């Protein structure tokens, strides 16, 4: 993987904070768990030791993933993004053309996506279909359940 990862400043800080916490707090916790497990004796039949080593492997994998993402991160700067079109970082108000239900999504990079919080990835079917659209445009989006039809109501930064 060598492509850039686009992040908002807030998303970048969140990943950086997680990395700092994993490298300091979590590493110390696992080191203590390993020390405690070693003190129990025979490591070949020590479930606590095996569990701590497994946790250590998962932790180091996550640290490596975060370091990779942060090294490839490009911070989105709103001054370089047209305000009249939907791009990453935009909050988009939509109306479902079939049900008249209104929703708002914030388009973010995949590492920042959180559907429950209204943050959808620009790589998702909805996110891809909205990119570059303007207010009052009708967007047809192919999703696994069929075709969604939305009208773009608003674009905010």
Confidence class of residue 4 from pLDDT cuts 50, 70 and 90? confident
Confidence class of residue 97 from pLDDT cuts 50, 70 and 90? very high
pLDDT for the residue 50: 86
Mode of pairing for the β-strands spanning 73-75 and 119-121: unpaired
- Does residue 8 contact residue 78 with C-beta atoms inside 8 Å? no
Distance CA 150, CA 154 (A): 12
The correct CATH number of 78-156 out of 3.40.190.170, 3.40.50.20, 3.10.50.30, 3.90.1150.10 is 3.10.50.30
- The model's pLDDT over 31-81, given as tens digits with 9 standing for 90+, comes to 999 888 888 777 677 788 888 899 999 999 999 999 998 998 888 766 566
Distance CA 99, CA 109 (A): 28
pLDDT above 50 for 82? yes
Q: Which residue has the higher pLDDT, 107 or 75?
A: 107
Give span(s): CATH 1.10.287.180, the chain.
5-75
Average pLDDT, the chain: 88
Dihedrals phi, psi of 120, to nearest 5 degrees = -110, 145
Contacts of 7 (CB under 8 A, 6+ apart): 15, 73, 74, 75, 76, 109, 111, 112
pLDDT for the residue 90: 87
Q: Which CATH class is domain 5-75?
A: mainly alpha
140's tokens? 């047809």
Report the predicted TM-score, pTM, of the whole model to 2 decimal places: 0.65
Confidence class of residue 26 from pLDDT cuts 50, 70 and 90? very high
- Does residue 150 contact residue 96 with C-beta atoms inside 8 Å? yes
- The model's pLDDT over 118-137, given as tens digits with 9 standing for 90+, comes to 999 988 999 999 999 999 99
Write the DSSP string, 78-110. Answer: GGGS-TTS--TT-EEEEEETTT--EEEEEEE-G
pLDDT for the residue 1: 45
Mode of pairing for the β-strands spanning 73-75 and 5-7: parallel
CB atoms within 10 A of CB 45: 9
pLDDT above 90 for 20? yes
Give span(s): CATH 3.10.50.30, the chain.
78-156
114's tokens? 């959180």
């Amino acid at each position: 993987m060598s492509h850039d990862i686009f992040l908002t400043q807030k998303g970048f800080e969140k990943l950086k904070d997680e990395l700092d916490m994993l490298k300091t707090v979590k590493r110390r916790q696992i080191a203590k768990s390993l020390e405690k497990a070693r003190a129990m004796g025979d490591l070949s039949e020590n479930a606590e030791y095996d569990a701590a080593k497994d946790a250590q492997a998962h932790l180091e994998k996550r640290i490596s993933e975060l370091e990779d993402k942060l090294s490839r991160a490009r911070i989105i700067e709103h001054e370089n993004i047209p305000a009249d079109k939907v791009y990453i970082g935009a909050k988009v108000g939509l109306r479902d053309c079939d049900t008249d239900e209104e929703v708002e999504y914030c388009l973010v990079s995949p590492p920042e996506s959180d559907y429950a919080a209204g943050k959808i990835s620009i790589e998702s079917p909805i996110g891809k279909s909205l990119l570059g659209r303007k207010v009052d445009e009708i967007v047809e989006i192919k999703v696994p359940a069929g075709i969604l039809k939305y009208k773009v109501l608003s674009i905010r930064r």
